[in-house]
Amino acid sequence: MFTVHKTDGSARLGQIQLAHGVVQTPIFMPVGTVGSVKTLVPQDLHDIKAEIILGNTYHLYLRPGLDVIREFGGLHDFIQWNKPILTDSGGYQIFSLAGQRKIDEKGAHFQSHIDGRKLTLTPELAVEIQETLGSDIHMVLDECTPHPVTYEGAKASMERSMRWALRCREAKTRPELAQFGIVQGSMFEDLRLQSIHALTDIGFEGYAIGGLSVGEPKPDMRRVTAFACAHLPQDKPRYLMGVGTPLDLVESIYAGVDMFDCVMPTRNGRNGTLFTSKGRVNIKNQRHKLEHGPLDEECACYTCKTFSLAYLRHLFMAQEFTALRLLTLHNLTYYLRLIHDIRAAIAEGRMSQLVDHHRQLWDS
């Protein structure tokens, strides 16, 4: 399923064979939580060469619901996307609903944020939902450990997640769909190692690093990521969940990560913060009011090839929906172009130079 073609230090160039096609790695997955990448349509995603998108088990379970998904034969046909899909298990939503949920050995008990219904998400139900969706990669149900947390709290949370991971594996019925385990253990390396050993003993098609980007300092995120990559199997893909900035991607790939998802490019685009070859651009800045040039001269996306920065600013300040689409399109194009640049750097053995460049660009 996963093949590594070349390495440059810990960075890896490879591919994953999935039910709906091949995904080249490293890869960034645009987030389409409820079956849609906000403001875009599938043709936009094809045009910018997205290879795989992410959906969310929790949200799709609540609406449209499994009855609708079954009627359409799975999520792919329902949303008209013929490439791979990864779905999160709902663990992060459980984490974010801290005031509205209770966790015990059975699973997570919570109230729907839509209609207040009382629901229980168990490991077995998480697998059933994702197999009904037909997710090419589906994640085990885990408890995303908050930060900060005591050692004892992190240990208990991690151990529960490992018991849930085993239940998820035992509940899996569709061999053509990949299932990834999720490494937990907060900032404690010995707990992370225990988690890795537990997951690899169970055996999954890939492994995710969870419980990061939840408020911890960046040095801790980098340390835990590198530690996990150093101990995870070499022949399986590694997925860093919910991360992150362009520099996060560069640094984490340098440490050995293969897969990423994050709402940052889409959410920031809708909020007027753009990622460019020269760094961040705030579209609201007054100095862009009369700017004739494009948002990013080095970008070949439809937004940059067609419109002036002044026009994009005008649309955003006028609260036109068109602005949200154009800015989202640019940010996702930037992320996917960055991924292609990283792949080229690994292939040519110059990953360290690319890392240095991006450290200077984003740290400044």
CA dist 2 and 169 (Å) reads 19
User: Domain 2-262, what fold?
Assistant: TIM Barrel (3.20.20)
Q: In this predicted structure, what is the pLDDT of residue 267?
A: 98
Residue 94 has pLDDT above 80, yes or no: no
Check residue 165 and give its pLDDT.
98
Specify whether 235 is catalytic: no
- 152-211 pLDDT, tens per residue? 999 999 999 999 999 999 999 999 999 999 999 999 999 999 999 999 999 999 999 999
Q: Indicate where the chain has its CATH 3.20.20.105 domain(s).
A: 2-262
Residue 4 has pLDDT above 90, yes or no: yes
pLDDT for the residue 170: 98
User: Which long-range CB contacts under 8 A does 74-78 form with residues at least 24 apart?
Assistant: 74/132, 74/133, 74/134, 75/35, 75/133, 75/134, 75/135, 76/20, 76/134, 78/35
Q: What percent of the chain has pLDDT over 70?
A: 99
Instruction: Please name the residue ranges forming H helices in 66-120.
Output: 66-71, 75-79, 91-96
What CA–CA distance (Å, rounded) separates 99 from 18? Answer: 37
Distance CA 4, CA 258 (A): 10
Tell me the mean pLDDT in the region 327-352: 98
Distances in Å between the alpha carbon of 65 and those of 9, 56, 70, 113, 359?
45, 12, 9, 14, 43
Q: What is the pLDDT of residue 235?
A: 98
Q: What is the DSSP letter of 110?
A: E
Q: State the chain's mean pLDDT as an integer.
A: 96
pLDDT (0 to 100) of residue 50: 98
Task: Give pLDDT tens digits for 295-310.
Answer: 999 999 999 999 999 9
Six-digit token pair at 171? 């509940």
Catalytic residue among 88, 136, 248, 296: 88
| pLDDT for res 114 | 86
Determine whether 88 is an active site residue.
yes
Confidence of residue 100 (pLDDT cuts 50, 70, 90): confident
The single residue of 44, 142, 258, 261 carrying the catalytic annotation is 261
**Residue reference for tokens 């009382």:** 118
Average of pLDDT values for 350-364?
96
CA distance 290 to 312: 11
Give per-residue pLDDT as tens, 102-135: 899 999 998 888 888 898 999 999 999 999 999 9
What does the pLDDT look like over 49-81, one tens digit per residue? Answer: 999 999 999 999 999 999 999 999 999 999 999
The answer to whether residue 90 scores a pLDDT higher than 90 is no
